[in-house]
Amino acid sequence: MNRAGWWQRGNTVVLAILALALAYGASLFYHLPQGWTEAALGHAAGAEHAVAETGVAAAEAHGDGHHASPPPYWTVVPFIVLLGCIAVLPLMHKTEHWWEENINRFKVAAGLGLVTLAYYAFFHHAPIEAHWPGHAVVPATGGVQWGFVKAILGNAILQEYIPFIVLLFSLYVIAGGVRIQGDLTANPITNASFMAVGGLLASFIGTTGAAMVLIRPLLETNRERKHVAHTVIFFIFIVCNCGGCLLPIGDPPLFLGYLNGVDFTWTLSLWKEWVFVNGAILVVYTLLDHFYFHRQETIADVQRDITQTRKLQISGLAVNGPLLLGVVLAVALLDPSKAVPGTGGWHPPMYLREVVQLALVAASLQFGSRQVRKDNNFNYAAIIEVAALFVGIFICMQPALQILNANGADIVEKFKLGPAQFFWATGALSSFLDNAPTYLVFFQTAQDPASALSGAHTGHVPAAILSGISLGSVFMGAMTYIGNGPNFMVKAIAEKSGVKMPSFFGYMMWSCCVLLPIMAAMNWLFLAEG
């Protein structure tokens, strides 16, 4: 896309955000977002009161006397098929180019989402739980069950998808306005330093944002070297995955936990695991590069690398740095389920958080440097891919979530699942499926029965269990190219820069040899006794 074309699209996005902000302002005038927040708070308070007064039985009865009934197990088939498409279609020769088109991804995701909605409209005849704007049990009616369709869309889109995709979009666009350029000496310490900084940034601007900011200067620094693929692989391990576990904005699964009641600062308690895993990966990389790969470089290449250096220069940070901080503050302070500190108990209207984030995006596009985005080759393709796929994922996962809400406590009790077991189970699925929905499935499974029955999404999961789920979904998303969204993005950028990256299974050989022993050690040190 040429410069004028990109800027025209940027202006279109700004105008679209302005239109959404005006529409939201009109909805505030009619008290709609305030009413949604009041409904959510009222239902949560009523559910907690029911549990406190009469126990779980009262919580079951909450919802006008109806009992929610989960769908049959076969209804998770569209969810499994969609995740299978995400994993397999990019790897098959006949479908890899077809799958590259976002419209085709959307067709698959939306089509399978419609299959799930059709089940609820025509074949499900027992009450179901609705969670937006507050908890309720929707009874069955005669004919087409439009009430069920509305409830499922409310759960999937209004409660989960909109906050999720707005956060990713905000971090992606604002980080795309920051550019670090330069050419340092590409020795093991320099490359490890890039990864260490990226691992820290990942928790504060997201794995996608950190990867977008740092992969290009890392590749530019290593352009004189012949052996670069292993450096990109370790960059994916740390910056695209393992670095993002300290805050909910660091990695998509943790943000879903935050949306379901986990405190914004709870993930900071995982700092010991974060230090151990990322530190161990950095040590392995430094030793491997120093004693093997760097020594494989020719003397001429090493000499060119030493002589052809340029200092690092950061562009776009003056505008976009404060805007990234604004996103963090919006997520932390504008949660409608929590009172804003110092306001006397005032709860933000629903979606105010998302509107503020979009306003920060508009400011980045309007006042940030056009040249920086042009130099970054910035476009919306990657975030459109995520948006297209996840609209189907969030709808198709609803049967699985409702089944686990009903049976999760029995599963945990029957198999005696502890923190370590949750870590490996969540991690194994996060390696091959998308780690965000995998996290949510296990999060629902581990919830306290009273919390699940009340529908009060307060994150009532034991801290040790929640640690295992969180660490498994974040850390082991690094096991394959498809475990987390930024993995494939970084691979594609590296290949366009001339780096020959390993195949899907070649990458897995690296992850199994490097990551699995580190994960086993982390599990033994921090989770085994939990």
Q: 371 Cβ partners below 8 Å, 6+ apart?
A: none
Other CB atoms within 10 Å distance of the CB of residue 476: 28
pLDDT of residue 43: 55
Pairing, β 128-130 against β 136-138: antiparallel
pLDDT of residue 58: 38
Where do the domains of the chain lie? Answer: 3-527
pLDDT of residue 56: 41
What separation in angstroms does the CA of 18 have from each of 124, 174, 359?
40, 17, 8
Half-sphere exposure of 393 (CA within 13 A, CB side): 25
**417: nearest Cα among 482, 367, 461:** 461
Residue 291 three-state SS: helix
Contact 446, 408 (CB under 8 A): yes
What separation in angstroms does the CA of 160 have from each of 26, 93, 215, 348?
23, 34, 30, 17
**262: nearest Cα among 206, 209, 210, 332:** 332
DSSP string for 238-264: HTTTGGG-SSTTTSHHHHHHHHTT--T
Q: Which residues of 160-183 are buried (b: 16+ CB within 10 A; e: fewer)?
A: bbebbbbbbbbbbbbbbbbbbbeb
- 500-503, Cβ contacts within 8 angstroms, sequence gap of 24 or more: 500/229, 501/229, 501/232, 501/233, 502/229, 502/233
Residue 311 three-state SS: strand
Tens digits of pLDDT across the chain (530 residues): 444 554 556 688 999 999 999 999 999 998 999 898 888 887 555 444 444 444 444 344 344 445 678 899 899 999 889 878 877 887 788 888 898 888 999 999 999 999 999 999 999 988 888 888 888 888 888 788 899 999 999 989 998 899 888 988 898 899 889 888 777 777 889 999 999 999 999 998 888 888 888 988 898 888 888 889 999 999 999 999 999 999 998 888 898 888 778 888 899 999 999 999 999 999 999 999 999 887 887 777 677 767 777 777 888 989 999 998 899 889 888 888 888 888 888 899 999 999 999 999 999 999 998 888 888 878 887 788 888 888 998 899 889 888 877 776 677 677 677 899 899 988 988 887 667 777 887 887 787 644 443 333 345 788 888 999 999 999 999 998 877 778 877 887 888 788 888 887 889 999 999 999 999 999 999 987 54
This prediction has a pTM of: 0.81
SS3 content of the chain, % helix, strand, coil (to 5): 70, 5, 25
Helices (H), strands (E): how many in the chain? Answer: 25, 4
Q: Helix/strand/coil (H, E, C) string of 198-221? A: HHHHHHHHHHHHHHHHHHHHHHHH
pLDDT of residue 55: 41
Residue reference for tokens 């992606």:
172
Q: Positive or negative CA dihedral for 446, 448, 449, 455? A: negative
Contact 335, 353 (CB under 8 A): yes
pLDDT of residue 441: 78
Contact 261, 457 (CB under 8 A): yes
pLDDT of residue 518: 97
Contact 276, 525 (CB under 8 A): yes
In angstroms, the CA 292 to CA 289 distance is 5
Residue reference for tokens 């069950």:
145
Rg (alpha carbons) of the chain, rounded to whole number: 23
Contact 268, 245 (CB under 8 A): no
Q: What is the phi/psi pair of residue 137, to 5°?
A: -110, 115
Q: Helix/strand/coil (H, E, C) string of 125-184? A: CCCEEECCCCCEEECCCCCCCHHHHHHHHHHHHHHHHHHHHHHHHHHHHHHCCCEEEEEC
